[in-house]
Amino acid sequence: MKVKKAIRKSLNSLKTMVPILIGILLLVNLITVAFSDSYSKLFTGNYIRDSFIGALAGSVSFGIPVTSYIIGGELLKDGVSLLAVTAFILAWSTVGFAMLPLEISFLGKKFAIVRNIINFIFSIIIASIVVLILKIV
């Protein structure tokens, strides 16, 4: 009886997730396919503005972190600053604007929104610290 109850409870939790997960994946993949070649066009050459753009681009992107490393490596080759690229790869994995509806439905609205805002700001701060330390050591 206890096992049945546990299975039912767990299945119900997952069932809530499936339609929104499929919807988000469809939406994000559509955006990713449409804009995959446009990342380097986003950056302006301005050190501070680019770190913000990097964090923003990373926040709306989606996929396994390795993808962000590859894109980041290409951006570096294109002359985009390390600060912007670091903010980009950090925001890619820590901020999930696309996944926000899913995070809200499971972990609560306030938690999801506050967490994503903090992570967005952190991606720029950590990127600055990492680049600064790299210059010193």
Nearest to 68 by CA among 50, 47, 90: 90
CA distance 100 to 135: 35
The residue written with tokens 């820590």 in the block is 94
Q: Which of residues 6-45 bind another protein (CB under 8 A)?
A: 6-7, 9-11, 13-14, 16-17, 19-27, 29-30, 32-34
Smallest distance from another protein to CB 60, Å:
15
Burial class of residue 39, CB neighbours in 10 A (0-12, 13-18, 19+) = buried
Smallest distance from another protein to CB 48, Å:
19
Is 66 near another protein (CB under 8 A)? yes
The interface region with another protein, picked from 38-46, 47-55, 105-113 by CB under 8 A, is 105-113
Is 126 near another protein (CB under 8 A)? yes
Number of other residues whose CB lies within 10 A of the CB of residue 83: 19
Which amino acid, 109? K
What Rg value do the Cα atoms of the chain yield, rounded? Answer: 18
For the chain, how long is the longest CA-to-CA vector?
Answer: 63
Give the binding site for another protein (CB under 8 A).
2-3, 5-7, 9-11, 13-14, 16-17, 19-27, 29-30, 32-34, 64-66, 69-70, 72-73, 86, 90, 93-94, 96, 99, 101-103, 105-108, 110-111, 114-115, 118-119, 122, 125-126, 129-130, 133-134, 137
